[in-house]
């Protein structure tokens, strides 16, 4: 729906002000006085009406022609954000709060406008003071309706003005504050909601258990859509992660819409079916729109420099604005307006200005002050995500803002928090992160090296849902191909923002997450699999064939006392809990112990016991954990070595062990080629997760399968050759990628 479709036939000038929705509640007397003050303005194609940063002293109404609004981020080129045609007001917020323009407006054709200056409007306000409140209300409603008009076509198809107004009339507007409940699990599902502005958290609440975040709903998405098809109770509780605006559609209203527009039911049904078919896939957002509040964990943290560098990195992915209390005061030319409370008469005007600013940018960074001020509260109330920035070398104790404004938040709110620990450089691995995490509730944490531009670029990809995650599958000696895969990706310029693995994939991925390069990982593999060689230390085969002494020694040698949370890259590995038959995902704790559990091949290696439960190789349940990577990354690469062990026999029955033995030791006797016990155990292990791996590969953005069928499962002496196979194969695959995939992987 386009606003200029609303203009009546014969619209020619300012005499039709009653048709402009900004003034729709004004009396005839007010409109006549306004029309008397308006002056004609003419622009030639290509001329600028006003520029971003100019003082806002007037509003305009487009009489004829078209305009484009463009935003220039703090760093970057101009980006067109909207077009405006006849009947559309331009810069109307200037009438109330003035300040500086949020965007530049240029004529894309010869255009006629009518201008009303703020000075003239203030004279009208003296005569009709009651219209200030009316205008504030209309401005906020217009901004929200504009966002609604962007969302509805996705669910109801393209629509003209009459269709839009009818559908809009069936909705009820709902506004909820941060941490407010939209509905609770178990309530009757008699309506659905569409989120127009803000962010919602989907929380699982069970009696006797802490609330658990199970999903988020970004703007433009539906909440509670099951009410359209069933009469079931609500399946989860929905909280507002921040101040949010929604429209509510009752079941009765939906039925009325479907009766008038039958195609709507088909559209909604297709959307719901598509969602059911794509459960587990990460939702692709229509346009990233994110508000980020940044607070310091303690005074003295260089939060100003941090936000400047973050804004520069985010600007690669969309228009980015960074706001501070001082900047707001400057832009609006009103000292102290950033600190006004919600009950201040100017608060709706400031809210309208911020909503407009947010609608013109993909990312808005709200930089809080070091104290608990009204501006700091406003930053948190408007944030989709809250970044807590701390000095990694300072005290991990929560700062005053965390203690007073965040400590009492439920999990539904803290799920949107990210801890950033700043390091001067990468001269040594981080340490002590566990203490930081134990003292606060955050969803994720990341280590940022102050001298590393790549770390800020990584954070920008993570925040913009463009993070690239790598999942490495198991496969014993065949898994040495992963070392070559990592080398090829790095040489091609593909950034890896997160790595996860199973068994051999965990062993290699963990070393890479520590910051090791190709040579370092290969050197580690030589030491632990050739020099130490855990496969020649046998034990009485009551629990396993191999002892665990060498295996534990090589884990400590490879990773030392490093904890998972102290790695430069976010890392996880998986193990199978035989006690509960569930998958265990290790994200914290001693790295060597997690990798040890992930690679404990049942029958070959002694299982790991933790808290009374028995853990073995993660490949029993999930040998290719790309699905876990997908929960955190917008782009997923999976690397799976050939699991085909070719266990076929050319005999009617399996030969006896002695017959196989003598065929191998007697000279000139042809050796019988039969699978050994390790081959059989590995095949048994992988068979259970083949189907799951197939689903993971279907949902991945890039699947790598180095051809290592010729490499035996215990042929670690060929690790250099195996790594080279992975390297050459990956380079060939990357060279043949289509342009869309290359763009996702940031290959230039």
What pLDDT is attached to residue 656? Answer: 56
The residue-averaged pLDDT of 474-490 equals: 94
pLDDT per position as a tens digit, 616-637: 888 888 999 999 999 899 999 9
Band the pLDDT of 703: cuts 50, 70, 90. Answer: very high
Residue 320 pLDDT > 80: yes
**Residue 673 to residues 146, 476, 608, 651, 710: CA-CA distances in angstroms?**
72, 20, 33, 10, 14
Residue 424 pLDDT > 50: yes
pLDDT per position as a tens digit, 50-89: 998 888 889 898 988 999 988 776 555 677 777 888 888 8
The CA dihedral of 277, 282, 285, 290, to the nearest 10 degrees, is 150
Euclidean distance between CA atoms 742 and 748, whole angstroms: 7
The residue-averaged pLDDT of 269-295 equals: 63
What pLDDT is attached to residue 100? Answer: 84
CA-closest candidate to residue 4, choices 119, 117, 109, 124: 109
Euclidean distance between CA atoms 214 and 217, whole angstroms: 10
Q: What is the DSSP letter of 3?
A: G
End-to-end CA distance of the chain: 38
CA-closest candidate to residue 366, choices 316, 284, 420, 292: 292
What pLDDT is attached to residue 541? Answer: 40
Euclidean distance between CA atoms 510 and 489, whole angstroms: 17
Residue 542 pLDDT > 70: no
Q: Scan for tokens 């029993």, then name that residue.
A: 620
Residue 276 pLDDT > 60: no
pLDDT per position as a tens digit, 228-268: 666 778 888 998 888 889 999 888 888 888 888 777 677 66
| Paired tokens of 172 | 């009820």
Q: What is the 3-state secondary structure (H, E, C) of 115-126?
A: EEEHHHHHHHHH
How do strand 244-250 and strand 191-197 relate by DSSP bridges?
antiparallel
What angle do helix axes 347-359 and 131-156 make, rounded to 10 degrees? 30
């Amino acid at each position: 729906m386009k606003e200029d479709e609303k203009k009546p036939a014969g619209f020619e000038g300012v005499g039709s002000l009653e048709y402009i929705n900004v003034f729709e509640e004004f009396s005839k007397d007010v409109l006549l006085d306004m029309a008397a003050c308006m002056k004609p303005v003419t622009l030639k194609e290509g001329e600028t009406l006003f520029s971003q940063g100019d003082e806002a002293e007037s509003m305009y109404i487009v009489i004829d022609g078209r305009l484009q609004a463009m935003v220039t981020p703090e760093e970057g080129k101009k980006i067109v954000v909207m077009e405006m045609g006849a009947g559309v007001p331009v810069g109307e917020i200037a009438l109330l709060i003035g300040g500086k323009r949020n965007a530049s407006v240029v004529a894309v054709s010869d255009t006629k406008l009518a201008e009303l200056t703020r000075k003239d409007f203030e004279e009208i306000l003296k005569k009709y003071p009651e219209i200030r409140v009316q205008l504030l209300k209309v401005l906020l409603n217009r901004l929200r309706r504009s966002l609604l008009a962007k969302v509805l076509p996705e669910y109801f198809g393209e629509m003209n003005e009459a269709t839009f107004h009818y559908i809009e009339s069936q909705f009820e507007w709902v506004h909820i504050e941060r941490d407010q409940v939209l509905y609770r699990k178990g309530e009757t599902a008699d309506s659905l909601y569409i989120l127009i502005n803000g962010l919602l958290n989907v929380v699982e609440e069970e009696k006797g258990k802490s609330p658990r975040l199970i999903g988020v709903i970004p703007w433009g998405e539906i909440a509670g859509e099951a009410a359209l098809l069933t009469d079931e109770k609500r399946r989860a509780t929905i909280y507002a992660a921040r101040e949010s605006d929604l429209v509510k559609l009752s079941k009765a209203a939906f039925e009325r819409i479907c009766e008038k527009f039958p195609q709507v039911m088909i559209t909604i049904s297709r959307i719901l079916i598509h969602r059911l078919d794509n459960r587990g896939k990460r939702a692709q957002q229509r346009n990233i729109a994110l508000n980020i509040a940044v607070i310091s964990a303690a005074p003295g943290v260089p939060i100003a420099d941090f936000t400047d560098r973050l804004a520069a990195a985010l600007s690669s992915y969309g228009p980015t604005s960074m706001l501070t209390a001082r900047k707001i005061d400057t832009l609006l030319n009103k000292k102290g307006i950033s600190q006004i409370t919600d009950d201040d008469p100017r608060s709706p005007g400031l809210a309208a200005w911020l909503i407009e600013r947010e609608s013109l940018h993909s990312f808005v960074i709200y930089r809080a002050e070091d104290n608990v001020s009204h501006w700091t509260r406003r930053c948190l109330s408007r944030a989709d995500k809250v970044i807590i920035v701390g000095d990694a070398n300072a005290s991990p104790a929560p700062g005053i803002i965390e203690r007073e404004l965040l400590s009492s938040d439920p999990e539904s709110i803290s799920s949107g928090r990210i801890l950033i620990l700043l390091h001067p450089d990468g001269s040594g691995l981080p340490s002590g992160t566990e203490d930081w995490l134990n003292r606060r509730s955050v969803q994720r944490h990341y280590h940022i090296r102050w001298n590393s531009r790549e770390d800020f670029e990584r954070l920008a990809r993570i925040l913009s849902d463009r993070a690239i995650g790598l999942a490495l599958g198991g496969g014993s000696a065949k898994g040495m191909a992963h070392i070559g895969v990592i080398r090829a990706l790095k040489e091609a310029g593909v950034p890896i923002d997160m790595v996860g693995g199973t068994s051999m994939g965990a062993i290699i991925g963990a070393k890479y997450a520590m910051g090791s390069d190709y040579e370092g990982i290969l050197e580690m593999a030589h030491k632990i699999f050739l020099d130490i060689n855990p496969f020649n230390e046998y034990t009485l085969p009551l629990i396993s064939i191999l002892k665990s002494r060498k295996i534990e020694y090589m884990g400590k040698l490879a990773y030392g006392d490093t904890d998972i949370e102290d790695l430069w890259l976010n890392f996880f590995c998986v193990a199978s809990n035989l006690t509960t038959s569930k998958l265990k995902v290790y994200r914290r704790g001693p790295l060597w112990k997690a990798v040890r559990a992930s690679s404990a091949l049942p029958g070959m290696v002694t299982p790991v016991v933790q808290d009374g439960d028995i853990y073995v190789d993660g490949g029993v349940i999930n040998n290719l954990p790309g699905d876990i990577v997908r929960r955190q990354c917008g782009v997923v690469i999976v690397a799976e070595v050939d699991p085909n062990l070719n266990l076929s026999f050319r005999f009617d029955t399996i030969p006896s062990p002695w017959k196989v033995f003598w065929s191998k030791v007697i000279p000139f006797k042809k050796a019988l080629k039969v699978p050994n016990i390790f081959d059989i155990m590995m095949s048994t292990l992988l068979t259970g997760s083949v189907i799951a791996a197939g689903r993971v590969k279907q949902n991945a953005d890039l699947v790598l399968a180095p051809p290592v069928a010729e490499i035996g499962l215990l042929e670690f002496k060929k690790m250099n050759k195996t790594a080279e196979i992975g390297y050459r194969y990956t380079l060939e695959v990357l060279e043949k990628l289509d342009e869309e995939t290359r763009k996702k992987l940031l290959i230039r």
